Amino acid sequence: SKKAESKVPDKLIVGTNAEFPPFEYMNDKKQPEGFDIAMIKEIGKRMGKKVEIKNMEFKSLIGAMESDSINAIIAGMTKTEKREKAVDFSDSYYTTNQAIILKKDSKITKLAQLDGKKIGVQEGTTGDLISSGDKFGDGKKAKVLVKGAKVKRFKKGVDAVMDLKNGSVDAVVIDELTANEFVKKNAKKLKIVIDSAGSEYYCIALTKGNTAYKEEVNKQIKAIKEDGTYDKLKAKYIDS
């Protein structure tokens, strides 16, 4: 593969998938909004660069970066060894877990109990990988958590939740905070179980091999955390 230039780009061209509240969603004005969007705009502002947001399917994000149509991804994207072959990851800006969304009366309490069950996921996510029986986790600690499940893949997590309500799937495996947002709207019918499969670290994906760019983004993430801006954004989008 070609060697990237080590240079901060003139503009941040950022891919996201605005179907993942509270990190990114479409607001009333049909514009992407959320914690991630606020973070990347703040990073761009501090770097003195314009920020353009491109909304696309989650599973298309890495490919868009490889073909240089974007130079950053902020999408609640978990740093994984496989993705790291195609992109560089910034320092982590958020740590979370997978959640299992279930009908209220379900007896399931662990991912391992989803063996052989029908699971709804958002295509290309860590929830998809785990449900599909891929090894999950870092290095030697990576292991298969769910075996022999029938995985139904959706472009939007919210549609997987619809199928759970209809009874077409037995569970939805998705990141914890987004699960909370979806279940809030269906609190009478659904519940959440957290099986800590291992922490997931959300990072900004950046053009592979561009060290100057990654260092600059990391510097801004650090500054945003240190001066209280991070906590303000967290209070506004996540803890509210």
Binding residues vs ligand GLN (CB under 6 A): 17, 20, 58, 75-78, 122, 125-126, 175, 200
Q: Which long-range contacts (CB under 8 A, 24 or more apart) does 110-116 make?
A: 110/193, 110/195, 111/145, 111/146, 111/173, 111/195, 111/197, 112/145, 112/146, 112/195, 114/146, 114/149, 114/170, 114/171, 114/173, 115/146, 115/147, 115/148, 115/149, 116/147, 116/148, 116/149, 116/150
Tokens of 29: 């004005």
Rounded to a whole number of angstroms, the minimum distance from the CB of residue 116 to ligand GLN is: 23
What is the spatial distance between Cα 151 and Cα 232, in angstroms, rounded to a whole number? 38
Beta carbons of 206 and 90 less than 8 angstroms apart: yes
Nearer to ligand GLN, 16 or 220 (CB): 16
- Helix/strand/coil for 140: helix
Nearer to ligand GLN, 78 or 131 (CB): 78
Longest Cα–Cα distance in the chain? 55
**Closest residue to ligand GLN using C-beta atoms:** 125
Rounded to a whole number of angstroms, the minimum distance from the CB of residue 74 to ligand GLN is: 10
Nearer to ligand GLN, 79 or 214 (CB): 79
Rounded to a whole number of angstroms, the minimum distance from the CB of residue 212 to ligand GLN is: 25
Nearer to ligand GLN, 174 or 216 (CB): 174
Rounded to a whole number of angstroms, the minimum distance from the CB of residue 80 to ligand GLN is: 7
- Helix/strand/coil for 163: helix
Q: Is the dihedral of CA 230, 40, 15, 156 positive or negative?
A: positive
- Helix/strand/coil for 181: helix
Rounded to a whole number of angstroms, the minimum distance from the CB of residue 58 to ligand GLN is: 5
Rounded to a whole number of angstroms, the minimum distance from the CB of residue 97 to ligand GLN is: 10
Rounded to a whole number of angstroms, the minimum distance from the CB of residue 17 to ligand GLN is: 5
| The length of the chain, given as a count of residues | 240
Beta carbons of 14 and 76 less than 8 angstroms apart: no
Nearer to ligand GLN, 51 or 77 (CB): 77
Nearer to ligand GLN, 122 or 207 (CB): 122
Nearer to ligand GLN, 103 or 156 (CB): 156
